[in-house]
Amino acid sequence: MHWIHLALAILFEVAGTTCMKLSAGFTRTVPAVLMVVFYCVCFYFLTLALKRIDVSVAYAFWSGIGVALIACIGVLYFREPVTMLKVIGLLAIIGGVVALNVAGKTQ
């Protein structure tokens, strides 16, 4: 169940960050309010996940997968440009998440 909580935390974090962009610097009320709600729900589920998952592993997954998903949303929805440096950076983040997960299992 703790991995489901982490997955939900990631999804709500991505939704909150997307709403942050849509709020246009807090000039649009509905996305700004949704951003706050989504982040509150995100931290609720992240807290539940941390009951059973090491903080280093959980945070690596939460932030790394969140960054990768937001980057995809940025490219696909917000039409941000894709550069080789962005791709390499995302691959490095994913590699770091994998390395922390493997390190957590070898202890």
What is the C-alpha to C-alpha distance for residues 50 and 17, in angstroms, rounded to an integer? 21
Q: Kindly list the distances between the CA atom of residue 7 and the CA atoms of 60, 65, 80, in Å, as whole numbers in the listed order.
A: 12, 9, 25
Domains contained in the chain, number: 1
Dmax (CA) of the chain = 48
Question: Cα–Cα–Cα angle for 39, 45, 46, nearest 5°?
Answer: 85
Instruction: Please give the residue range of the domain that contains residue 89.
Output: 2-105
pLDDT in tens, 12-70: 999 999 999 999 999 999 999 999 999 999 999 999 999 999 898 898 889 889 999 99
pLDDT in tens, 56-66: 889 888 988 99
pLDDT of residue 104: 67
The model carries a pTM of 0.86
What is the C-alpha to C-alpha distance for residues 16 and 22, in angstroms, rounded to an integer? 10
